[in-house]
Structure 1
């Protein structure tokens, strides 16, 4: 009764099965059956499906593909635990719709930031007198208001603000990346956008 004035919460089924195709497909089919049985009985079906468990990076696309083969196309597929931007492209191409991960925040707390030219670690000495923003071409609140040198100073002084600023930047970077991917799909230039972004982002990893 306390939530009668609010939208009902959505219950999702989460597919497990590690790296085993038979277990992944069996789990997905079982959850789909549960959802359909609930709907046929007049109860609420699953609002969507999650793809969880330990997904090794090199097998991420394959595993997501197995699961999405078994899931209905009219229900969203949520992937738990992506890491780097290449994981987003791989998962989207395999059928995933939405994502979550601790990587942007965990990286940010240690001074790691995403840029269009790859990851940087702002603790590095090369940023001591670098008064440019984290990524001025990308922009965003943090890049427009705080310099790399200032954030490095905060990191070296163990100020919590450093992790907050790096985290804010990383979250904006990933959210905007997903927005751009969506726009490229709708605009019919996904492959060109993927190749351009990936070629630049992974061209040089010396900043870390």
Structure 2
């Protein structure tokens, strides 16, 4: 990632990217937003590493500061397979994000529908899996992500921190750590206990508040 790591979801290189997917999904700074590739494109600092494999409890939902946003924190939840879907992703809805700990539950990659009258393939697995946790406290987010091939254990996760301001159906974000300053606009939906982050036009990561 050019500049600071702004992980808002997961990790694979351009060469490893599933062909049906339109590109590696990245958050501010080029790192994955919750479930689409982490070291896509150019890469920069990887952030703090946590434990790999299946995920233990993430910390509480309060007490985040700019000083502890990138403190080492274990993941929570199970690895989530990435699903490739035909067509466009649903529109971002915006909404109020309730403070708390959100665990990755779904990774979606979207591909354009066929226009030549051929049979449109149904949903299928991309061959990649990811794990992720987003902790929200005030206007700060701590983002833990990992991504790898579904046939292998997930690699150690990375940790990044951002500040954000909701504007319509998007979050205007600024990287805090591990490298500060990069800005990015991230469409999102916050409905009930769910949080969807639209990593790019072809990738979406869904989290559930625990």
Give 1 or 2: higher helix fraction. 1
Same topology, TM > 0.5: no
**TM-score calculated relative to the size of structure 1:** 0.22
Q: Which has the larger radius of gyration?
A: 1
Larger RCO, structure (CA 8 Å, separation 6 or more): 2
**TM-score calculated relative to the size of structure 2:** 0.22
Give 1 or 2: higher strand fraction. 2
